Amino acid sequence: MGAVDVGGDKPAGKKKGLRRPKRRVAIRIDMTPMVDIAFLLLIFYMVSTIFSEPQAMEINLPPSKAELPTGESKVLVLRIDAKNRIFWNTGKDDPQSIELTAVPKLLEDKVREVPGLVTLVKINKGARYSRMVEVLDRIEIVEYRLKQAQVRAKEKGLLPKDEPEFSYVFSLGPWTRLDTKTIAKVTGEAETEEGTTTP
């Protein structure tokens, strides 16, 4: 591990008084065992450490061939245009602009108003990806709130115990040229070739 080198006496020289010169001790530390231990610890932590998985948003999607027939009046369409603005409409009504913070209340009101409501989210390719995540987060918040309300209603005896658990039905749809025309008509902007609108 370590070695101690004991140096010899100093060469004889002039003596000053009666004081005898002190013996000097040279210390040499062998670092090899410490390096071995450091590498063993490094290898141990590399082998035993669990690396964090990349975080991804979990979306429960239905089977690819699943069809859910529903009336047009029971479909709420949320559109996100290239400028990250959000518009909503049901049936053949004209789209209305809405702020992101107001989306949960709108969805909750519509779910209570229209039984079996299906929400269709359409996003322009020029919109930010984070905008889609924000909208889907609001949908999850609404689903959580309505599930909790259902549980409380069952506990109070307002709903039968065997009623199936509430699940928010929504889907992601492709943005089409018709969506661009619809938004351009509402906003009074002219559509461009890329499918966006300009003032």
Q: Where are the domains of the chain?
A: 72-198
Higher pLDDT, 191 or 184: 184
Amino acid at position 12, single letter: A
User: What is the CATH architecture of 72-198?
Assistant: 2-Layer Sandwich (3.30)
Distance CA(110)–CA(131), nearest Å, equals 21
Question: How far lies 79's CA from each of 45, 58, 125, 154, in Å?
Answer: 49, 21, 11, 35
pLDDT (0 to 100) of residue 59? 63
Higher pLDDT, 162 or 5: 162
Maximum Cα–Cα distance for the chain, whole Å? 114
The tokens describing 168, both together, are: 């928010």
The percent of residues above 70 in pLDDT, for the chain, comes to 77
- Tell me the whole-structure pTM to 2 decimals: 0.63
pLDDT in tens, 72-114: 888 899 999 999 999 999 988 889 999 999 999 999 999 989 8
